[in-house]
Structure 1
Amino acid sequence: MIERPEGNGGRPHTDGLPKTQPLRPSQVRQNANAKRMLMRLVQGDSPPTAPMNIVDRLAGSPYANPTIQVAGVDASARKTIDFALHLAEAMFRYGAGALEVETSMIAVTAALGLKNVEVDITNQSVAINYAPKDQTPITLIRVVRSWTNNYAGLAQVHQLVTDIVAGGVGRDEAVRRLNEITRSAKPFPRWMVTVAFGVFAAVFVGVLGGGPGASALAFASNLLISLVARQLGRWRTPDFFVTMSCSFLVTFIALMLRWAGADIAPSIVVAGGILLLLPTGRLVSSVQDAINGFPVTAAGRFLSTLLTFGAIVAGIAVAVVTGTLMGSEVLDVTNTFPPAYPLWGQAILIAVAVAAIGITEQTQMRLLLPTAAVGLVGFFVLWGAGELGLGDRLAPAISAVVIGLLGRVVALKLGAPQLVVAVPAALILLPGLTIFRSMYLLTTEESDILLGAGGMLNATAIVLGVAAGIVLGDNLARPLTKGLSSNERRRVRRR
């Protein structure tokens, strides 16, 4: 028989063991916080294999945190998807980059109440998949087969997306506005675009060091190639041969007038003539797509850009060879030209040139002066970098970063995407003179082939540096433009 201890209710004695005190509530909270902190250090904020929410792609864009129109959404998701595809097609046709198209589609579908949406963009096609739980999924694709210069339309589409994200526009109203944008006429008539093409070439020749005679020749020759390009377009001629014909004409005319005794510098005239033929917007978009994680789209645009450069080089080469066979003298393209105008005069010419580019790109009238101002700032940065001895490669890249940064700030303040302001302002940085000199050495001077090839590599490095600089400036400006989208939303709500 086992005797139980007395006085403790049958429990064993614990004399000699340390007695534990109950934890206070503050200590419990401290322990819980410490455990959470330790788990964050070990595991991170989210599991490493968790899929990324598609709405998170809007972070850093003007459409972050869209207003979900829950009350205004009906059961027809197909109409919303059709609208999103139509929107993406219009943006692609007007020159937008893949990231901007993707964020616009995600923002629109999220704001109009669609969840479980996936967007895929590959070069010329846009696909969207809507797969709600326990329902039949919908997958649609749209192929973009044509492009046009219409920065005004791109700015209007950007404003439409901003209004939708702010919650001030429903789907039916958005469809109506998008149809109006795609059917409306461009802001400038064709004759004004043709004249602006010639004005840009004339004033930029003056910036490069050409006198009034060279500027007049550049103006006349670019009017001619604009008319030729328009006629070839009516005949459905591929863009490669249109660009090749234009670069051939501007080079051949300059060489023949020099052969006839005109006191001009053909290299400057050609440099001013081929700058607008360079696919600046496409190149910037391709670099932006490559950096932002759209390799297929970037590869397609890079190939298109490479073909355009090849067409320009081929046209120059054919013109140089033809001119040589007809008795044109061999040019000394290594000559440098002193400035024909003082710095303030060059600044005025740069502002006029950037405004002329804006007209050729069919930008909005209210964006011409701000774009010219951004281009003027970029010109002074380029001049300052040159005075500091930073070199012909680094100076344009630094100027492009400033243009990209200011372009985003100015464009978002005026309700437009960064591309609309940055691309026209940065066209003055491209090395048209280096391209002509290198091509001339490659086609006429057998002893200087290596020098010509080196010049082409140098020109390519400058062009890529300018494009990457614009993209870098756009990313650097994102912290400065966080409040601009919210300003847009407050303005929409007050309407």
Structure 2
Amino acid sequence: MNDRPENPRRRPPTDGLPKTEPLTPSQLRQDAAAKRMLRRLVRGENPPTAPLSIVDRLAGSPYANPMIQVGGVDTSARKTLDFSLHLAETMFRYGAGALEVETSIIAVTAALGLKNIEVDITNQSVAINYAPKDQTPISLLRVVRSWTNNYAGLAKVHRLVTDIVAGGVGRDEAIRRLDEAITSPKPFPRWMVTIAFGVFAAVFVGVLGGGPVSSGIAFVANIGVSLLARQLGRWRVPDFFTTAACSFGVTLTALLLWRFDLTNAPAIVVVGGILLLLPTGRLVSSVQDAINGFPVTAAGRFLSTLLTFGAIVAGIAVAFVMGAMTGMQPISVTQTFPPAYDLWVLVIFIAVAVMAIGITEQTSWELLLPTAGVGVVGYFVLLGAATLGVGDRFSPALAAVVIGLLARVVALKMGAPQLVVAVPAALILLPGLTIFRSMYVLTIEESEILLGAGGMLNAGAIVLGTAAGIVLGDTLARPLTRSLASNERRRARRR
């Protein structure tokens, strides 16, 4: 009798069990494929709690897959970090969004050989933490305290980052080029910017239905507003009161001319004056930051944008109250204005208006005509959507999507960020006339306060829809512009 314990590894006897046929090669392959699919479903390609590599933030941007320079890891990391912070500060000052600033920092530091970088952007500050293994970490912070209109400078910085990522520019050369971009004069002198303010107001009044007299009044009024804003800036007056004073000045001028029968369309004159005061670029950047996951930065910019809108509304309201106290004739805000010119003339007006906006934003010369073309296409989309009965709220948003998409394509071809083309082209979509009418009803016609509040909410919905449409167009264009970004980087390498 065998007293040995049973071996647990020994296979049990198969007597009495049905015999199975061996699997064919095809069945074996199907079984292996099923097991792999099951593992992917249960476990996934990457563990769900694995951290996202910071370089993965470059996916979808023009700086994806940066070329690491031959020198390897930079031994003087502090100089590279200082340069990256200076670059970020410059981009913020010129109006770039938080995502663009972050991707630029990541791309530059990766291309210059620094790993273990963490970037934190919070409203006006940029922080970089560099913590290499077994070394002393470095943490730097830079605060942005001023802003300026310089889209040409922003385009130069964009091209500099592209050249660094392509591997054709070292750190010392990059520092020199950044200093050159900051210290170089703006493309247009101040007198030309002042004239552009007046030209934009004149031609846009024509687009809204005003005649030559109204356009001439708007031209003179906006030049005065531009000079007033410049003088208040020299006196260090806060932006809120500067914007309110400009809004008050153009509204009071229109009311005085209306009282003496020198214009029959004061509302249009006011709209032409306040449209350039609207913080379009800041609003687009804030919506972009909110969508791209920068809530604190977006909240700060939203608050700044809201204060600017409040300043415009306050200036209009004070002018209305003064007009009512002095016995000025009330304005018919329900008056409609049929087109005063043929369609081909309006198209020319739109192109001129967009180029005038570009001059006020200090866009480079070579971008003026392409930006005007994008604006004209957006205007045609706006007219087509209105003809199809899409609605006054959705039509500007649809046109903004097309503008945002085309702006990314044109900007990458011209070596500039999308914002430089999109903001001037989309300014014509903003509801200045609705803002004016709603503010008048809120201030003067107290019995219709609900109507005025509803009009302001409607105007706010159009403004936010336009800003979101630009961001959506930029997102939709990313898969279509990967080859453009690659071509731009190949050209940079050849240089």
Letter aligned with residue 343 of structure 1: L
* Superposed counterparts of 1:38-187, under 5 Å: 38-71=38-71, 73-187=73-187
* C-alpha distance 20-330 of structure 1, shift in aligned 2 (>3 A): closer
1:42-86 Cα offsets, whole Å, 9 max, x none, are 111100110000000001111111111142653011111111100
User: Offset at 1:31?
Assistant: 5.9
- Establish whether residue 210 from structure 1 lines up as the match of residue 202 from structure 2: no
**TM-score normalized by structure 2?**
0.95
Question: For residues 17 and 146 of structure 2, what CA distance do their matches in structure 1 show?
Answer: 86
Question: For residues 282 and 290 of structure 1, what CA distance do their matches in structure 2 show?
Answer: 12
Q: Which moved more, 1:154-163 or 1:32-41?
A: 32-41
- Establish whether residue 256 from structure 1 lines up as the match of residue 253 from structure 2: no
1:108-134 Cα offsets, whole Å, 9 max, x none, are 111111111000000000000000111
Classify the secondary structure of the residue corresponding to 2:129.
Answer: strand
Counterpart residue number, 2:403: 403
User: Offset at 1:323?
Assistant: 1.3
Question: For residues 181 and 14 of structure 1, what CA distance do their matches in structure 2 show?
Answer: 83
Letter aligned with residue 371 of structure 1: T
Letter aligned with residue 122 of structure 2: T
Letter aligned with residue 157 of structure 1: V
Question: For residues 271 and 202 of structure 1, what CA distance do their matches in structure 2 show?
Answer: 11
User: Offset at 1:143?
Assistant: 0.1
- Establish whether residue 196 from structure 1 lines up as the match of residue 184 from structure 2: no
User: Offset at 1:434?
Assistant: 0.7
Contact 1:126-1:143 at 8 Å conserved across structures: yes
Question: For residues 27 and 67 of structure 2, what CA distance do their matches in structure 1 show?
Answer: 41
| Structure 2 gap segments, 5+ residues each | 3-12
Counterpart residue number, 2:428: 428
Classify the secondary structure of the residue corresponding to 1:169.
Answer: coil
* C-alpha distance 19-333 of structure 1, shift in aligned 2 (>3 A): closer
Contact 2:74-2:112 at 8 Å conserved across structures: no
Counterpart residue number, 1:375: 375
Question: For residues 61 and 79 of structure 1, what CA distance do their matches in structure 2 show?
Answer: 25
* C-alpha distance 29-166 of structure 1, shift in aligned 2 (>3 A): farther
Contact 1:213-1:264 at 8 Å conserved across structures: no
Classify the secondary structure of the residue corresponding to 2:362.
Answer: coil
Counterpart residue number, 1:489: 489
Contact 2:163-2:493 at 8 Å conserved across structures: no
Counterpart residue number, 2:439: 439
* C-alpha distance 16-317 of structure 1, shift in aligned 2 (>3 A): closer
Question: For residues 247 and 190 of structure 1, what CA distance do their matches in structure 2 show?
Answer: 21
User: Offset at 1:180?
Assistant: 0.5
Counterpart residue number, 2:469: 469
* C-alpha distance 30-167 of structure 1, shift in aligned 2 (>3 A): farther
Question: For residues 20 and 75 of structure 1, what CA distance do their matches in structure 2 show?
Answer: 67
Question: For residues 386 and 402 of structure 1, what CA distance do their matches in structure 2 show?
Answer: 15
Question: For residues 314 and 60 of structure 1, what CA distance do their matches in structure 2 show?
Answer: 42
User: Offset at 1:448?
Assistant: 1.3
User: Offset at 1:489?
Assistant: 1.8
User: Offset at 1:390?
Assistant: 1.1
Q: Which moved more, 1:425-434 or 1:481-490?
A: 481-490
Question: For residues 191 and 176 of structure 1, what CA distance do their matches in structure 2 show?
Answer: 30
Question: For residues 198 and 261 of structure 2, what CA distance do their matches in structure 1 show?
Answer: 23
User: Offset at 1:26?
Assistant: 9.1
Letter aligned with residue 443 of structure 1: T
Counterpart residue number, 1:313: 313
User: Offset at 1:38?
Assistant: 2.3
Question: For residues 365 and 279 of structure 1, what CA distance do their matches in structure 2 show?
Answer: 23
**TM-score normalized by structure 1?**
0.95
Counterpart residue number, 1:479: 479
1:440-489 Cα offsets, whole Å, 9 max, x none, are 11111111111111111111010001000000100011111011111012
Contact 1:70-1:112 at 8 Å conserved across structures: no
Contact 2:74-2:114 at 8 Å conserved across structures: no
User: Offset at 1:36?
Assistant: 3.1
Question: For residues 28 and 156 of structure 1, what CA distance do their matches in structure 2 show?
Answer: 59
Question: For residues 36 and 110 of structure 1, what CA distance do their matches in structure 2 show?
Answer: 35
Contact 1:130-1:139 at 8 Å conserved across structures: yes
Contact 1:403-1:425 at 8 Å conserved across structures: yes
User: Identity of counterpart residues, as a percentage?
Assistant: 79
Question: For residues 284 and 104 of structure 2, what CA distance do their matches in structure 1 show?
Answer: 19
* C-alpha distance 74-26 of structure 1, shift in aligned 2 (>3 A): farther
Counterpart residue number, 1:277: 277
* C-alpha distance 398-15 of structure 1, shift in aligned 2 (>3 A): closer
Letter aligned with residue 148 of structure 2: T
Counterpart residue number, 1:225: 225
Question: For residues 190 and 314 of structure 1, what CA distance do their matches in structure 2 show?
Answer: 28
Contact 2:244-2:311 at 8 Å conserved across structures: yes
Letter aligned with residue 353 of structure 1: A
Question: For residues 234 and 132 of structure 1, what CA distance do their matches in structure 2 show?
Answer: 46
Question: For residues 15 and 122 of structure 2, what CA distance do their matches in structure 1 show?
Answer: 77
Contact 1:72-1:170 at 8 Å conserved across structures: no
Question: For residues 72 and 214 of structure 1, what CA distance do their matches in structure 2 show?
Answer: 64
* C-alpha distance 457-18 of structure 1, shift in aligned 2 (>3 A): closer
Letter aligned with residue 460 of structure 1: G
Contact 2:93-2:148 at 8 Å conserved across structures: yes
**CA RMSD, 1 decimal:** 2.0
Letter aligned with residue 242 of structure 1: T
User: Offset at 1:23?
Assistant: 9.4
Classify the secondary structure of the residue corresponding to 1:392.
Answer: coil
User: Offset at 1:324?
Assistant: 1.5
